Chains A and B, each alone.
Chain A
């Protein structure tokens, strides 16, 4: 019979992947990461639960970082629910939002609302700074991947803008 005490002491060597690690593996920001990298990220990230209709953050609120959806749905909107709510995006499992707050001190530019009971993982500026101090290689990898994704989005926005202008 296995002793619980010894299992606890050697729990690090039991490489069973948690739900959180499985979700992180789907996120492009963390591509090419090793198992130990995911474990380090899991240690830093914060699991949160939101009920249907809960605000994750409000437009103009001070922003601290990004969220990754483990399970559930989130809509990104501007305006209030009573006055002209404009839905920008509907996000689901494995997708992320709010990443701009990792780079600047500006307030949030939209609302994020849970459209069903949702589980999220929060990754914040402070966590990134801690990671940068503890494991600079991993921190740089995240920044590089995030930079790549933001560049990709900017290119998409540019081409949309060009299309709109040529239509006119």
Chain B
């Protein structure tokens, strides 16, 4: 009789679970953006919370503390971007002084010729006719225009998301303790202490994950800077190398796309520095692969950095920080990536950490149910 009751309960729970999954999948397209904004705002709040709390203790005012921390953060981001852009534009001005349009065209023609002549014969394609070229050019222009329009839309969408995340972060920072207390006050007295422990452990897991990510980004930045100094980027100044390293470290936080974003400024600067330099145009990587402007040297260096980071640093540092086995970190990254793409990979590890904490507390409650 009791077994039968248990079966009915189980079936009832499965049905409720299925209805919930169906309901969530139906409303997900409408709420996904808001949830994404809230998750990002929560992550930024976790990063900035201790600074706001420390300042509040000194000046005894929450609102002003939030304002000062946010202004300082925006100032540092602005300062970093401003000085990076000014360094890049200096480099670009220098580049435009050294090179005029004609030499650039000749340089490109030489480069293409050298590159194709060094390729194995089966990879070489036949010469295309002028007519082919014209139709290809028209097609290319159309594609570029289409991409520009979609890019403008994406930029607008990104700006909207960023503004909303910024506003949510300010509100969360200002009212974090109030929100947390409201959440805690909703827990029934019976489960109060357990619920509080669960919230604390989730917060701890997220903040440890962020610390792990910070360590991982810092190590990528340090390794990239060291790698670029070894390659010397053929003439780039140290400030620019440090900027590129920091960009590589930060962009590395976004799985899949991030690592490639980090390479772009390095390749661009190497190209601007070395245009017109015959030795760099004819440079061969390991004396085998043609690597004009050291492009493949840079790509190889970044690939090595990413391999060290992806296979050694992230599984050990990040896995340790959320208390997950490296194997489990890999599996969650794969599952997150398959389900939600790069964003899924970004949130896979902290989400697994949170799920682990919840299961641990559920087991604890079941074990101590008679005392609650």
Contact = CB atoms under 8 A, between A and B. Distances in A.
Contact of B50 (A50, A56, A134): A134
Nearest to A6: B63
A57 B193 contact: yes
Contacts of A54: 189
B contacts with A: majority SS: helix
A107 interface: yes
B135 to A, nearest CB: 63
B184 interface: yes
B9 interface: no
Given A58-B371, A126-B200, A48 B60 contact: no
Interface in B189-211: 189, 192-194, 196-197, 200
Contact of B60 (A13, A46, A63): A13
Contact of B371 (A44, A46, A62): A62
A141 interface: no
A109 to B, nearest CB: 12
Interface in B51-68: 53-54, 56-57, 59-64
Contacts of B192: 46, 48, 122
Contact of A60 (B50, B56, B371): B371
B47 to A, nearest CB: 15
Contact of A134 (B53, B185, B194, B372): B53
B185 A46 contact: yes
Contact of B57 (A9, A40, A133): A40
A160 B287 CA distance: 89
Contacts of A40: 57
B139 to A, nearest CB: 57
A12 B371 contact: no
Given A46-B185, A64-B193, A126-B197, A39 B368 contact: no
Contacts of B189: 48, 50, 54, 56
A8 B63 contact: yes
Contact of A63 (B57, B193, B200): B193
Contacts of B53: 134
Contacts of A46: 181, 184-185, 192, 196
B364 interface: yes
Contacts of B114: none
Interface in B27-75: 50, 53-54, 56-57, 59-64
Interface residues of B, number: 26
B97 to A, nearest CB: 52
B279 to A, nearest CB: 55
Nearest to A44: B177
Contacts of B57: 36, 40, 134-135
A9 B68 CA distance: 13
Max chain A Cβ within 10 angstroms of own Cβ: one of B54, B60, B189: B189
B61 A13 contact: yes
Contacts of A87: none
Interface in A116-158: 122, 124, 126, 130, 133-135
A12 B372 contact: no
Nearest to B61: A12
A61 B181 CA distance: 23
A48 B53 CA distance: 24
A12 B196 contact: no
A8 B192 CA distance: 30
Nearest to A62: B368
B368 A61 contact: yes
B43 to A, nearest CB: 18
B371 A61 contact: yes
Contacts of A122: 192-193, 196
B62 A58 contact: no
Contact of A124 (B64, B193, B368): B193
Given A11-B63, A65-B193, 10 more contacts: A10-B64, A40-B57, A44-B177, A46-B192, A58-B371, A59-B371, A122-B193, A126-B196, A133-B50, A135-B57
Interface of A: 8-13, 36, 39-40, 43-44, 46-48, 50, 54, 56-65, 107-108, 122, 124, 126, 130, 133-135
23 contacts: A9-B63, A10-B61, A12-B59, A12-B60, A12-B64, A46-B185, A47-B181, A47-B185, A48-B189, A57-B193, A58-B372, A61-B371, A62-B194, A62-B371, A64-B197, A107-B371, A108-B371, A122-B196, A126-B200, A134-B50, A134-B54, A134-B57, A135-B57
Closest 6 CB pairs of A and B: A12-B61, A126-B200, A61-B371, A64-B193, A9-B63, A43-B177
Interface of B: 50, 53-54, 56-57, 59-64, 177, 181, 184-185, 189, 192-194, 196-197, 200, 364, 368, 371-372
